[in-house]
Chain A
Amino acid sequence: MAPPSDASQPRLAAGCRWGGTEEDRVILFPEGAIKLQGTGRQVLERCDGQRTFGEIIAELQKQFDAADPAKVRSDISVFLEQLQKKRIVDY
């Protein structure tokens, strides 16, 4: 599988969903859970199956405007690709 393309619409995979409390949000998936804080949470909250990968990148590049935009893009791409391999995210 390739990294997400700009037109793809990342979303949580079948049977994966948000849980936990507002302060302590987790993604629940078969046999496990990941606690999400900071950037990871901001990325996944945007993976709603509506926004495209390109839009998610643009939003976060704007939000983290002190960071190198190319690095923001590559970090998010790697993050989503890893979750895709774990079958937690689809795109």
Chain B
Amino acid sequence: MLSNPLALIAEVTHRCPLHCVYCSNPLELAGTPSELSTEEWTNVFQQCGKLGMLHAHFTGGEPLARTDLAELISAARAAGLYTNLITSGIGLNEERLQALVDAGLDHIQISFQDSREQAANWIAGAKAHTHKIELARAIRRQVGEKKIAFTVNLVVHRQNLDHLEEMIGFIEQLHPERVEIAHTQYYGWALANRAALLPTRAQLEKAVAIVAEAEKRLAGRIRIDSVVPDYYAKYPKACMGGWGRRLMLINPAGKVLPCHAAEVLPGLSFENVREKTLGWIWQESSSFRRFRGEDWMPEPCRSCDRRTEDFGGCRCQAFLLAGDATVTDPACSLAPSHGIVESAVREANADAAVAQPAPASSFVQLQNANTELWSYRTNPE
């Protein structure tokens, strides 16, 4: 029997003051005029509550770009959901933070691009680093009855892995309860910039040892969750815990997706919350049923013992790398198309050079100085 979805990922806007080169948003961003209204999101959260969902993850773009964010959080909380804000922190000061907490925010997750200011701003394509540090301090200065949980999210890749130890030390000083060390996943902008982001095997092996040591040292103080890069793994990741199995994502324009990247898949049409209920979309829509369960699986997945653990890996990665959403994820060492990933890994290891942060006084200057290396995420119309 089909169980209910557990969590909603609410991409409340695709607008963002940052231009991170590893952004997981689609290259084709949802335009501002198409964004769901406060009332439409409120209705969505009520539906989530009735479906028995537990968490609402507010993300974007930058969710703070929505001036009604406090109202949205309060609506989600009123519907019985645990509220998590995934943010760059740009657009947040102590006063607005307090308003969000009063509205019922449970958890805030702030991304840091690096421990070094110049490098961090170079990755983000924006001067954001100093503000983030101030904000982290404000979160920990919080007084009053209700304290929110604080997670630091650190995305790691070729350009910053060499000083991972320093970055963990930096994060320790911010006193979060949790740190998420996430290797870049290659979708959207990150895939377009993969050559500059994919680490070498040596970098990765060193990183694994550093994380293991930090886990031991910080036990009881800071919990470390780490995501390993699937390009170097033997088996693929259980993307989203399986297609249409746990999560629903709603993009700024109300389109309901099984994951962040699914819109790239050809031949699938996705429903909109403006037209259909979430319950119907979860249970009946052809998009959520398309890769649910095992019926769609090809070999070697179909007869593989791991099919109930990794669900054949990621459909979007299969399409983006192998050109076919119905084949085994090329990240799997058993996949017929695994050579595609192997050749990307070979290239990453052929040249171990790491670029240097380019100083710049404006985003345009930064863009111009880095055209050879990568493209920065742009903003929606």
Residues of chain A having any CB pair with chain B under 8 Å: 1, 13-17, 19-20, 26, 28-31, 33, 84-87
B74 to chain A minimum Cβ distance, whole angstroms, is 16
A14 and B177 in contact, given A30-B109, A31-B84 (Cβ under 8 angstroms): yes
Contact A30 B178 (CB under 8 A): yes
Contact A30 B220 (CB under 8 A): no
Contact B149 A14 (CB under 8 A): yes
Contact A30 B151 (CB under 8 A): yes
Identify the closest chain B residue to A81 (Cβ). Answer: B220
Some 24 contacts from A to B, beta carbons below 8 A apart, are A1-B220, A1-B221, A13-B149, A14-B148, A15-B107, A15-B147, A15-B148, A16-B149, A19-B80, A26-B54, A28-B55, A28-B82, A29-B149, A30-B84, A30-B106, A30-B107, A30-B149, A30-B177, A31-B84, A33-B55, A85-B223, A86-B223, A87-B149, A87-B223
Could you say which residues of chain A place their CB within 8 Å of the CB of B148?
14-15
17 more contacts with CB within 8 A, not counting A19-B54, A30-B151, A87-B223, are A1-B221, A14-B149, A15-B106, A15-B147, A15-B148, A20-B54, A28-B106, A29-B149, A30-B106, A30-B109, A30-B178, A31-B84, A84-B220, A85-B220, A87-B149, A87-B177, A87-B178
Could you say which residues of chain B place their CB within 8 Å of the CB of A16?
149
Complex Cα distance A13/B107, Å?
11
Complex Cα distance A49/B177, Å?
18
Could you say which residues of chain B place their CB within 8 Å of the CB of A30?
84, 106-107, 109, 149, 151, 177-178
Task: Name which of A15, A28, A87 has the most chain B CB atoms within 10 A of its CB.
Answer: A15
Identify the closest chain A residue to B148 (Cβ). Answer: A15
Task: Name which of A14, A16, A85, A86 has the most chain B CB atoms within 10 A of its CB.
Answer: A14
> What 6 pairs across the A-B complex have the smallest Cβ distances?
A15-B149, A1-B220, A14-B147, A28-B82, A30-B107, A87-B177
> B150-171 interface mask toward A, CB cutoff 8 Å, 1 = contact, 0 = none?
1100000000000000000000
> B216-230 interface mask toward A, CB cutoff 8 Å, 1 = contact, 0 = none?
000111110100000
Contact A28 B54 (CB under 8 A): yes
Residues of chain B having any CB pair with chain A under 8 Å: 6, 54-55, 80, 82, 84, 106-107, 109, 147-151, 177-178, 219-223, 225
B153 to chain A minimum Cβ distance, whole angstroms, is 11
Complex Cα distance A15/B226, Å?
20
A13 and B106 in contact, given A26-B54, A87-B223 (Cβ under 8 angstroms): no
Complex Cα distance A14/B106, Å?
8
Contact A85 B178 (CB under 8 A): no
Could you say which residues of chain B place their CB within 8 Å of the CB of A15?
106-107, 147-150, 177
Complex Cα distance A19/B55, Å?
11
Complex Cα distance A26/B54, Å?
10
Identify the closest chain B residue to A16 (Cβ). Answer: B149
Complex Cα distance A85/B224, Å?
10
Task: Name which of B55, B84, B149, B178 has the most chain A CB atoms within 10 A of its CB.
Answer: B149
Complex Cα distance A26/B106, Å?
15
A19 and B82 in contact, given A30-B178, A87-B178 (Cβ under 8 angstroms): yes
Identify the closest chain A residue to B147 (Cβ). Answer: A14
Could you say which residues of chain A place their CB within 8 Å of the CB of B6?
33
Complex Cα distance A30/B54, Å?
11
Complex Cα distance A2/B239, Å?
36
Identify the closest chain A residue to B84 (Cβ). Answer: A30
Could you say which residues of chain B place their CB within 8 Å of the CB of A31?
55, 84, 225
Partner of A13, one of B54, B177, B219: B177
